[in-house]
Amino acid sequence: MTSLSRETLSQIYFTMRLTRAMEDRIHKLFLQGRIVGGVYTAQGHEATTVGAAMTLRDGDCIVPQHRDLGMHLVRGTSPRAVMCQWLARGNSPTLGRDGQMHIGDMYHGIVPMISMLGASLPVACGVALTMKMRKRSSVVLASCGDGATNTGAFHEALNLASVQKLPLVLIIENNGYAYSTPTYKQFALQDLAERARAYNIPGESVDGNDVLAVMETVRRAVVHARSGNGPVIVECKTFRVRGHSEADKADYVPTELREEWLAKDPIQRFETYLREQGVLTPALQAEIEAKIKAVVEDAVAFAERSPAPDGATVTDDVFAPDGPIAIIGEPDSDNPRYVNALDRRTGKPFTTVSKAEEAVGRR
């Protein structure tokens, strides 16, 4: 049996089940027309997303993708915030300006994702470089799909992370399909973790439907990165049960392949293990199921009674406020320098400029 406590094992199971229950509810809300726009869920990814995030500690950061609800829940995003986001309420993390999981929470160390998958990875490098420069013993856990590993940003980020020995752990959620293109049509590799060799960093593949295997593999990677040894790639091989989005029927997936992966469902596998270890009793399972139902319904009810976005604020935080730009040096100077030094409190240029600001102007 794993060295994890019964309480930790129960929490892992609860979070995996909560992740799926929330996405099932989001799926139904979409079918009812109560969620507008694209809906991207990750049924089948729960062991990968929850397991990877469970290896982190306070002070670490995640840079998730759109299928990483499990990571959000582990790191502290509330179910209410998630439902407000999907229903585009005025009190959602994006204040109703977005209805998908393009959210972050810097208080909990969650960096918002970028829709162009792969483009978040250079940002993750920037966060990791900041941690290194500030001499923090923190790690950045970033994720991407198999298709994103073919983008230039993926390779640029890995090269930078390797050269600078950044405390970065990259999770490749290889679910077999980049939208509808199977991996055998994308890569001449059996394991995407092999791409780590090109950057002289460790890479390891793991069964992404085995939550304990994911946790152990990512834990080793986190220890490696936290110790100053540089980045690590962990490829989690899993399966996306639903389509790329809820509008995608995924009829390009062979029936036999789908059935093969459904038989390896990560939650069912973990349930079996917990029962065999005497952790998941009928009473505990009933308690967890009741709690999950209550949490999900509370989140939906809270979102539905939350206010819609105020149309008068539609341009807030989109355009810079009108006003002058400060000039460093005398206005009649032969070589005036401009910087964005407007005092937002008064709407007037600063009257004095620090040496640091002058240096910015000189550059």
Q: Which of 176, 159, 179, 181 is nearest to 168 (CA)?
A: 159
283, 333: one domain: no
Q: Which of 114, 192, 205, 118 is nearest to 157 (CA)?
A: 118
198, 255: one domain: yes
In a domain, residue 110? The reply is: yes
**pLDDT tens-digit profile, the chain (363 residues):** 578 999 999 999 999 999 999 999 999 999 999 998 889 999 999 999 999 999 999 999 999 999 999 999 999 999 999 999 999 999 999 999 888 899 999 889 999 999 888 999 999 999 999 999 999 999 999 999 999 999 999 999 999 999 999 999 999 999 999 999 999 999 999 999 999 999 999 999 999 999 999 999 999 999 999 999 999 999 999 999 999 998 899 999 999 999 999 999 999 999 999 999 999 999 999 999 999 999 999 999 999 999 999 999 888 877 766 655 444 444 444 544 444 444 444 444 444 444 433 433 333
144, 96: one domain: yes
224, 260: one domain: yes
Domain range for residue 210?
6-311
The CATH number of whichever domain residue 61 belongs to comes to 3.40.50.970
Question: How far from 310 is each of 86, 184, 313, CA to CA, in Å?
Answer: 17, 48, 6
In a domain, residue 15? The reply is: yes
203, 241: one domain: yes
In a domain, residue 1? The reply is: no
Separation CA 351–CA 345 (nearest Å): 13
Query: What is the total count of domains within the chain?
Result: 2
| pLDDT digits 0-9 by tens, 4-44 | 999 999 999 999 999 999 999 999 999 999 998 889 999 99
Q: What is the pTM of this model?
A: 0.87
Percent of the chain with pLDDT over 90: 81
225, 170: one domain: yes
In a domain, residue 85? The reply is: yes
Length of the chain: 363
184, 229: one domain: yes
In a domain, residue 181? The reply is: yes
In a domain, residue 213? The reply is: yes
233, 169: one domain: yes
76, 14: one domain: yes
| pLDDT digits 0-9 by tens, 282-325 | 999 999 999 999 999 999 999 999 999 999 988 887 776 665 54
218, 150: one domain: yes
